[in-house]
Amino acid sequence: MSVKTIMQHAGHKDKNLYLLSEISDIVSSSLSDKDILEGVLWVLSTQLDVDACWIQNFDHSTKSLMLIAQQGLPETMAKDMDVVELGQGIIGKIAMERKCVFSNDITKDSNYLWEAAVKSGFHSLIAAPVIEGGKLLGILGTVSTKFGVFNVNDLKLLTVISSCISDVCNRTNPETQAMELRRQQDEIIYTQLFLSALSHELKTPLTAIIASTGLLAEELEKKKDETLVKIVQNISKSSSSLQNRLNELLKLSRNKDEAFGISKKKLDFTALVFEIADQVSSLLKQKKQNLSVDVPLSTNIYADEQRIEQILLNLLSNAIKFSPEGGQISLKANSEGNRLVVKIQDCGPGIPNEEKQKLFKPYYHLSTDRTSLPGLGLGLAITKQLVELHGGTIWVQSEPEKGSTFSFSLPLSEKA
């Protein structure tokens, strides 16, 4: 073997390693399954000497392959490959035999003569079944307009790539999706029953607490002890708020499609913030934490007072819960154009990047609080919905070990 041939071989090997590295990065990213598959095909089409490539999923219930992603296929060819029955044509044969194949002349190859591809100008083919645990998940294939471009090494490379995308193909498989849908439906039913039972169980003792608090407030007012009266008033207000939330959960558990309602009016946001700060003062005192509030005086917004209270209480309660004893928490607000931006910062453990996008989903728990700080995982999902009902947005900035800042924006004008 000449030096030139050895160098070409080494360069080809390096190119394949680079290609696999790129595909590995795409597959392990947080992109959607559709974007992952399209990204893999884009890398294939740009790094290998191919003119088109595709991925098909295999549906075991219908015994057919369905085209789910493609790069460079002519429209007519893509249409023919949209649904292919097992054993039908070249693709169906590859799926049935579950063997990796390559042909450098599909115009003359008796085993893999593919008229539709030839009519579209293609001459070389390489394809590999996507298999996981002995189960056929789909087909990964490429075609080229050139003759004789593929070899055994290319076949091995495509086999490795098909293994890399097996998890994604499994997630996008119709059977897997049907099972996931059934699981989600069962979870919704279970959650509805749980919320209904929880609401009923808590309503009776809560009603007694509200009634007893009212009697205690009357007695303390007679003694003119303003400090104790203020504490009891906070208990009464929080209890009434909790009763409203329970009634709402009970209603939502009966009808999962029913949305939260809001009733907007002019609201003194500054005054409300200080009321909420007063409500959480006992929680802060228990953990020896300090809350600093920086809100412009007489800031008015058009919003539902109970809902804004709920948003602030949820975010402040989380900040207190996740911040260590003696920690510093801050609440800042300022106007940016026609919107009010509110930021609540804690000094907790922070949130990993890969978990940020899941935070506002129902029933999601951070990996750091699943056991130490259990809960339903509904707080942030509800908060997001309430902010968006006001025409606002909510987001989080965080780094592990550096705390988190939850921010939300609200329109300042009535029409926004």
In 3D space, the residue among 132, 126, 122 whose CA is nearest the CA of residue 153 turns out to be: 126
CA distance 114 to 101: 13
pLDDT at 184 over 70: no
Convert the pLDDT of each residue in 339-363 to its tens digit. Answer: 999 999 999 998 887 777 778 776 5
Q: Residue 316: its pLDDT value, please?
A: 92
Of the listed ranges 74-83, 256-265, 317-326, the one predicted with least confidence: 256-265
Of the listed ranges 69-78, 124-133, 139-148, 236-245, the one predicted with least confidence: 236-245
Q: Which helix (H) or strand (E) holds 172?
A: helix 166-172
Under the banding of pLDDT at 50, 70 and 90, the label for residue 204 is: low
- Dmax (CA) for the chain in angstroms is 105
Range ranked top by mean pLDDT from 196-200, 245-249, 314-318: 314-318
Q: Residue 373: its pLDDT value, please?
A: 43
Higher pLDDT, 257 or 224: 224
**Side-chain half-sphere exposure of 190, counting CA atoms within 13 A:** 8
User: Which strands form 339-345's sheet, in the order they lie side by side?
Assistant: 290-294, 328-336, 339-345, 404-411, 393-398
Residues 6 or more apart from 316 whose CB is under 8 A from it?
276, 277, 280, 291, 329, 331, 344
Of the listed ranges 124-128, 212-216, 366-370, the one predicted with least confidence: 366-370
Residues 6 or more apart from 281 whose CB is under 8 A from it?
234
Q: Residue 193: its pLDDT value, please?
A: 63
Q: Residue 282: its pLDDT value, please?
A: 78
The pair phi, psi for residue 296, each rounded to 5°, is: -60, 145
For β-strands 52-59 and 64-71, DSSP reports them as: antiparallel
> What stretches of 224-347 show up as alpha helix (H) in DSSP?
226-254, 269-279, 281-286, 305-322
Q: What's the average model confidence in pLDDT over 136-147?
A: 92
Convert the pLDDT of each residue in 97-118 to its tens digit. Answer: 898 888 888 888 777 778 888 8
Under the banding of pLDDT at 50, 70 and 90, the label for residue 207 is: low
Q: Is the pTM here over 0.75, yes or no? A: no
> What stretches of 28-114 show up as alpha helix (H) in DSSP?
33-47, 75-80, 89-97
Q: What's the average model confidence in pLDDT over 214-241?
A: 76
Under the banding of pLDDT at 50, 70 and 90, the label for residue 368 is: low
Q: Residue 330: its pLDDT value, please?
A: 96
Q: Residue 252: its pLDDT value, please?
A: 57
